[in-house]
Amino acid sequence: MFYLFRKKISVNFIISSTLIVICFFYVSWGLNYYRPPLERSIAKEGIISEKKVKKLTKYFSIQCNKLRKETNFTKKNKEDNLISYKDLIESENDKFKYSSVSLILSYLGIKGYYNPFTNEANVNSRIPEILVPITAYHELAHKQGFASESNANFIGFLNAYNSDNIEIKYSACFFAFRYLYNELNKINPNLAQDIYVALDNEVKIDLSRVSNFWMYYANRFQKIQRSIFDFFLKSQGQKKGINSYNDVVWLLLSTFDGKDKFILDENY
């Protein structure tokens, strides 16, 4: 009898605790998933044209070539770069931190995450340096209330792209190039290959460095983690789940002014 009573209390405790956590999640931050997406207010067209994708991919390839020449990734050790990024990004934005479980995050295929319970943006310190700034800005976008992954991608890009720091801006352009190149490669592989060939060797090395990093940490648990996260995103109204990250391509194409700026309504 006593055992059954304890069991009933334990079950009730687990249920009530779970409900409290869920309620706290939505009250503190989770309702941002129901925030009107940027796509609804600024996307100009529903069809991604090959011409526009090619033009913007080429633009970012040129920017990557130009900015890579001015960066000094090889002149400083990684620890110095991480400290430098933190100082530069936090001087104008909310704070973020490097995760103490970065090794685990690497094996799970995670670059960073936002913790709504502690209101902290966390970045995996093991990822290649070129990914650190854009990842920090992505997680800070979540902290600012942009729950949608495509929106956090775009806001993160926009803030990094508008930075006066060459390495941070290169990180943004490198990020945008990869998304656009992958989109162009689906539409016209030959055009994508032509643009890739025109990249400077240093940029190609950076692309390989990122690819090799994820290959090194690849394991079966990443697939499980992606499936769980995909289910979570879909349950929060992001119909494309984990593929919603790719919608940043639409936002980039829709806000590009044709020269060198990305125009977004000040009321976003």
Residues 6+ apart with CB under 8 A from 104: none
pLDDT at residue number 2: 44
How confident is the model over 225-241, as a mean pLDDT? 87
Considering only CA atoms, which of 8, 251, 10, 7 is closest in space to residue 149?
251
How confident is the model over 141-161, as a mean pLDDT? 94
Measured CA to CA, the distance from residue 67 to residue 204 in angstroms comes to 13
pLDDT category of residue 267 using cuts at 50, 70 and 90: low
How confident is the model over 251-256, as a mean pLDDT? 91
Three-state SS letters, 77-146: CHHHHHHHHHHHHHCCCCCEEECCCHHHHHHHCCCEEEECCCCEEEECCCCCHHHHHHHHHHHHHHHCCC
- Decide if 112 contacts 23 (C-beta within 8 A): no
Task: Find the radius of gyration of the CA atoms of the chain.
Answer: 20
User: Is the pLDDT score of 198 beyond 90?
Assistant: yes
Low-confidence winner among 18-32, 60-74, 142-156 (lowest mean pLDDT): 18-32
On average, the pLDDT of the chain sits at 86
* Within a domain: 220: yes
Low-confidence winner among 47-51, 94-98, 140-144 (lowest mean pLDDT): 47-51
* Within a domain: 158: yes
pLDDT at residue number 4: 46
Distances (CA, A) of 142 to 31, 34, 93, 184, 242: 12, 13, 13, 28, 15
pLDDT at residue number 91: 66
- Show the domain range for 147: 35-255
Residues 6+ apart with CB under 8 A from 153: 138, 141, 179, 245, 247, 248, 251
Task: Count how many domains the chain has.
Answer: 1
CB-based burial label for 9 (10 Å; 0-12, 13-18, 19+): exposed
* Within a domain: 12: no
pLDDT tens, residue by residue, 118-130? 889 999 999 999 9
* Within a domain: 15: no
What's the pTM value of the predicted model, to 2 decimals?
A: 0.88
pLDDT at residue number 9: 58
How confident is the model over 65-83, as a mean pLDDT? 82
- Decide if 150 contacts 247 (C-beta within 8 A): yes
Q: Which two tokens stand for residue 105?
A: 């995050």
Measured CA to CA, the distance from residue 239 to residue 208 in angstroms comes to 31
* Within a domain: 20: no
pLDDT tens, residue by residue, 212-227? 999 999 999 899 999 9
CB-based burial label for 257 (10 Å; 0-12, 13-18, 19+): exposed
Q: Which of 36-45, 69-78, 201-210 has the highest mean pLDDT?
A: 201-210
pLDDT tens, residue by residue, 94-119? 789 999 999 999 999 999 999 998 88
Three-state SS letters, 34-50: HCCCHHHHHCCCCCCCH
Distances (CA, A) of 183 to 10, 32, 164: 51, 28, 28
* Within a domain: 266: no
Residues 6+ apart with CB under 8 A from 199: 61, 64, 65, 207
Measured CA to CA, the distance from residue 209 to residue 218 in angstroms comes to 14
- Please give the distance of CA 100 from its chain centroid, rounded to a whole number: 19
**Sole residue written with tokens 């025109």:** 198
Low-confidence winner among 38-42, 53-57, 111-115, 245-249 (lowest mean pLDDT): 38-42
* Within a domain: 214: yes
pLDDT at residue number 5: 46
**Sole residue written with tokens 């633009």:** 59
